[in-house]
């Protein structure tokens, strides 16, 4: 299983056929459609907006469903604004600081909408479509943050890597893949698959291997969430040395700054993390290797 997958900058359909995204901006009572750059998702004029509305249109027959998550990981299906197919809308407030030396920003708890993609053979993925600001510039981004496989056993469904960790997600998928549905019939049967054959890579084993070979000053990206603007890297200090990394601490010539999962990076130094985000260290001067 790959968790916190690589960022996927803006693209029509977010990489899923039958899904399109547009952004409507509001300023001074006027509404206009922003045109993202196909290169990195930069939205012209967004830095002057009061509010952005992300509109996601999903064609009939496409198994993609919008939802939101609260602080306890509970899931609420997104409101569907269409009677034909699915249309989701998300208002994203643009916070403009009073002080001129501060940059506009969006907050993670209100800057994105999550999408659940259900594929064939038990595959599923969770995406985030977000409006983010970096260095005063606004971007529309899409990121596949989780992916895994679902299995059936009799009339029950389960996901070995999410059961017990995010039961609410598994239950949400179950409501969409009831045993009478066509989706249910496409799922792999758990009784026909040996325990060691469940798809994906054991994350604990992967981490152990990473800790063995990396050296001081070198890290491997564990995950990076573009909507939040930070992620973490694995270092040679082992689990006690996992380091937080903010986009502002990444040296990059790109307008939209991010790191991809399992990407090798270099860093100048690690300092104690005082942000309260649960990591022992913070990485400074990070450069993609």
How far is 166 from 70, CA to CA, in rounded Å? 12
The least confident of 54-68, 90-104, 133-147, 175-189 is: 175-189
Give domain limits for the chain.
Answer: 7-148, 209-288
Report the 3 state secondary structure along 193-262: CCHHHCCCCCHHHHHHHHHHHCCCCEEEEEEEECCCCEEEEECCCHHHHCEEEEHHHECCCCCCCCCCCC
Strand partners, 56: 21, 88
DSSP secondary structure letter of residue 95: B
The two three-digit tokens of residue 4, written as one number: 């916190």
The two three-digit tokens of residue 146, written as one number: 């989780």
In 3D space, the residue among 74, 151, 142 whose CA is nearest the CA of residue 113 turns out to be 142
Q: What is the pLDDT of residues 99-137, one digit of tens each?
A: 777 888 999 999 999 999 988 888 899 999 999 999 889
Confidence class for position 1, pLDDT limits 50, 70, 90: very low
How far is 103 from 16, CA to CA, in rounded Å? 33
How far is 83 from 177, CA to CA, in rounded Å? 21
Q: What is the pTM of this model?
A: 0.88
How far is 43 from 16, CA to CA, in rounded Å? 21
CATH of domain 209-288: 2.40.50.140
How far is 248 from 198, CA to CA, in rounded Å? 38
SS3 155: coil
In 3D space, the residue among 285, 252, 288 whose CA is nearest the CA of residue 269 turns out to be 285
Q: What is the pLDDT of residues 220-267, one digit of tens each?
A: 999 999 999 999 999 988 877 789 999 999 999 988 999 988 899 999
The two three-digit tokens of residue 286, written as one number: 């990070």
Mean pLDDT of the chain: 84
């Amino acid at each position: 299983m790959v968790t916190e997958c690589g960022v996927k900058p803006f693209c029509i359909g977010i990489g899923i056929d039958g899904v399109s995204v547009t952004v409507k901006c509001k300023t001074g009572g006027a509404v206009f459609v922003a045109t993202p750059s196909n290169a990195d998702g930069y939205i012209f004029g967004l830095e002057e907006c009061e509010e952005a509305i992300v509109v996601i249109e999903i064609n009939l027959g496409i198994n993609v469903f919008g939802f939101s998550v609260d602080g306890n990981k509970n899931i609420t299906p997104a409101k569907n604004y269409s009677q034909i197919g699915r249309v989701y809308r998300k208002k994203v407030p643009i916070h403009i600081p009073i002080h001129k030396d501060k940059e506009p920003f969006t907050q993670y708890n209100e800057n994105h909408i999550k999408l659940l993609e259900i594929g064939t053979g038990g595959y599923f993925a969770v995406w985030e479509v977000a409006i983010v600001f970096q260095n005063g510039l606004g971007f529309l981004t899409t990121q596949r943050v989780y992916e895994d496989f679902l299995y059936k056993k009799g009339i029950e469904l389960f996901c070995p890597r999410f059961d017990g960790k995010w039961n609410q997600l598994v239950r949400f998928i179950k409501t969409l893949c009831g045993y009478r549905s066509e989706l249910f019939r496409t799922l792999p049967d758990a009784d026909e698959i040996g325990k060691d054959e469940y798809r994906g890579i054991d994350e604990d084993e992967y981490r152990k291997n990473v800790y063995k070979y990396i050296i001081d000053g070198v890290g491997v990206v564990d995950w990076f969430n573009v909507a939040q603007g930070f992620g973490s890297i694995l270092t040679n200090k082992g689990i006690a040395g996992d380091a937080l990394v903010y986009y502002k601490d990444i040296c990059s010539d790109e307008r939209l700054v991010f790191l991809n999962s399992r990407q090798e990076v270099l860093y100048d130094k690690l300092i104690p993390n005082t942000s309260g985000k649960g990591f022992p260290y913070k990485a400074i001067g990070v450069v993609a290797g």
